[in-house]
Every structure is written in structure tokens, then in C-alpha cells.
Amino acid sequence: MAGKAHSSDAEILAGFQAEREESVHHVQGWIDGIIHLGRWNFHDPEGVAQEVMIKLLTIVRRDGYKGQSSFKTFVFSVAKFTCVDIYRRERQRPVVEQAAPHVVSTSDDPEAALEHQRRLEMVRYITQKLPAECRKLWSWVYDEERTAVEVGRLMGLSAGNVRVRVHRCLKKARVIGQGFIDSPQQLWD
């Protein structure tokens, strides 16, 4: 046989941890197989591959890979689930952007601009997850600035009941917002 024999799973893992070029290319090939053969149609497939590679490096460096499956299976799993997350994010983005107004940060501070962007993402996330009744109620109260009495007339409720419902929707939004903050994406960081 003219070429080098295939490396074992343990050799590839050790090489990947040591960032040896041959092992990294081997793992990159596995990742590319999931990304390019999966018909995901990503806007930026190279960016997706980079995100998978960063997650893998982070997990391996923190001893997150316990060897319960082959390293190749582990790489496939991380790549597949990352692709699913990115696919959903890319498919939801147009819906979210249509639902939420576009606000441009005028801050010269890049850190403040990133924080502003993160807050907008959280508002969009919360808005998507809220029940339709809460979105409608909030639209009347906050966007159209209707009083509780006016909203009560529209809904056939007392003003006090409207305030209670607005408060309940706010509680739901807080729970959803906490879910955004505690999202699984941060487990990879």
C-alpha cells in the first residue's frame, strides 16, 4: 500500500487535542461531510464549519468527551446538532426580522453595540415565544398606548382584569427571557 494507513480513533483524538494538522484536517473532513452532504443550504457553510470546530475544541479541551462513543461519532453528533441549531436560526431570522422593528445603535462603543444587539435578539426571541393573546395585548397597551379601560372594552373585560393579564404576560416574558439567557448555546462556551 503506497499511502499511510488510516489513523485510529484514539490517534485522531490525541492529534486533534494537540492541534496536529493531519488530525485537524481529518476532523474537518468529517465536519464538512455533515455540512455539505446534508443539503442544509447554509448562507455561510464555512462559518458553520468554523462554529462546529470551535465547539469541538472547547468540549475536548474541557474534557467533555468521555469516550462513550467513538470520536468520529462524537464529532458527527456535535456537527449535526450544531447544523440543526444554525438551520433553525437561519430559517427563523426572516420571520423575526419581519415581526420586530429594525433599530440601529448609534453608539460608537462596540461593546455597547454588541449588548444592544443581544438585547434586540432577546426581545425578538421573547416576542416569538409569547402566546398570541399576549402579543396582541401588548400591542394595544405598549404600541398603540391604549388605556386599560380601552383595552378592556375591546376584550370585554374590566380594566383591572386587563392589568392582571398584562402582568401575567410580563411574567411569561420574564420566564422566556431567562430561557434565552440560559440557552444551550451557552453550554458550549
Q: Are residues 65 and 38 in the same domain?
A: yes
Percent share of the chain, pLDDT over 90: 7
Residue 2 belongs to some domain of the structure: no
Same domain (yes/no): 42, 90: yes
The predicted pLDDT at position 5 comes to 43
Cα–Cα distances (Å) from 43 to 46, 49, 60, 93, 166, in that order, read: 9, 12, 27, 12, 39
Q: Check the CA dihedral 143-146-148-150 and report its sign.
A: negative
| Exposure of 179 in the CB half-sphere (CA atoms within 13 A) | 13
- 117 belongs to a structural domain: yes
What total number of domains does the chain contain?
2
- Tell me: pLDDT of 99 over 80: no
Q: What pLDDT sits at residue 94?
A: 57
Q: Is residue 32 part of a domain?
A: yes
pLDDT for residue 188: 40
What mean pLDDT value characterizes the chain?
A: 79
86 & 137 share domain: no
CATH number for the domain that contains residue 73: 1.10.1740
| Position 30 in a domain | yes
**156 and 90, same structural domain?**
no
Q: Residue 168 domain-assigned?
A: yes
The whole-angstrom separation of Cα 97 and Cα 90 is: 11
Whether residue 59 is found in the same domain as residue 119? no
Do residues 134 and 115 both lie within one domain?
yes
Structure confidence by residue, pLDDT tens digits, 155-178: 888 888 888 888 898 888 888 888
**CA-CA distance, 76 to 52, in Å (whole number)?**
10
* Same domain, residue pair 34 and 79: yes
| Gyration radius of the chain over CA positions | 23
Q: What is the pLDDT of residue 110?
A: 77
Please identify, among 99, 124, 139, the residue that sits at the C-terminal boundary of a domain. Answer: 99
pLDDT single digits (tens) 22-74: 999 999 999 988 888 877 888 888 888 888 998 898 888 888 888 888 999 99
Domain CATH code at residue 131:
1.10.10.10
pLDDT score for 35: 87
Say if 1 falls within a structural domain: no
Decide if 78 is inside a domain: yes
Could you tell me the residue range of the domain that residue 145 belongs to? Answer: 110-188
Query: Do both 88 and 120 map to the same domain?
Result: no
Model confidence at 100, pLDDT cuts 50, 70, 90, reads: very low
CB burial readout 28-45, b (16+ within 10 A) else e: bebbbebbeeeebebeeb
- Residues 24, 86, single domain; the answer is yes
